[in-house]
Amino acid sequence: GAVVSQHPSWVICKSGTSVKIECRSLDFQATTMFWYRQFPKQSLMLMATSNEGSKATYEQGVEKDKFLINHASLTLSTLTVTSAHPEDSSFYICSAPTAWLYNSPLHFGNGTRLTVT
């Protein structure tokens, strides 16, 4: 089955620094990837849609200058949390559908737990 690899699994950083999270589709090409944020015991909140070769589409209320998304290839999307603050601490998950199959489910990475101290 389709595999999405997300790295790192967890990261601790100091306030004011930047953190990059990588999301790779290992055995399929992902023209679109989604980035979600999840608070404890809550649902997934879509942050942005990453499209290969073009600018990401951000959901309302998500700061595009703070959460930089790059989708430079068909297998890699990155999310950079810039100038991180404690309120950015959360669980971030990437996912991708198999390209152009509308009955394709989302394939998820195993998430990144970010702690900003």
Partner 1 sequence: AQTVTQSQPEMSVQEAETVTLSCTYDTSESDYYLFWYKQPPSRQMILVIRQEAYKQQNATENRFSVNFQKAAKSFSLKISDSQLGDAAMYFCAYRRNTGNQFYFGTGTSLTVIP
Residues in contact with partner 1 by the rule CB under 8 A: 32, 34, 38, 41-44, 46, 49, 91, 93, 95, 97, 102-103, 105-106, 108, 110-111
Q: Is 77 exposed, middle or buried (0-12, 13-18, 19+ CB in 10 A)?
A: buried
Q: In the bound complex, what is the minimum distance in angstroms from residue 35's beta carbon to partner 1?
A: 12
Residue 10 or 16: the one with the smaller Cβ distance to partner 1 is 10
Helix (H) or strand (E) holding 73: strand 67-73
Q: Report the 10 Å Cβ neighbour count for 14.
A: 8
Residue 14 or 100: the one with the smaller Cβ distance to partner 1 is 100
Q: Is 106 exposed, middle or buried (0-12, 13-18, 19+ CB in 10 A)?
A: middle
Q: In the bound complex, what is the minimum distance in angstroms from residue 110's beta carbon to partner 1?
A: 5
Q: In the bound complex, what is the minimum distance in angstroms from residue 83's beta carbon to partner 1?
A: 26
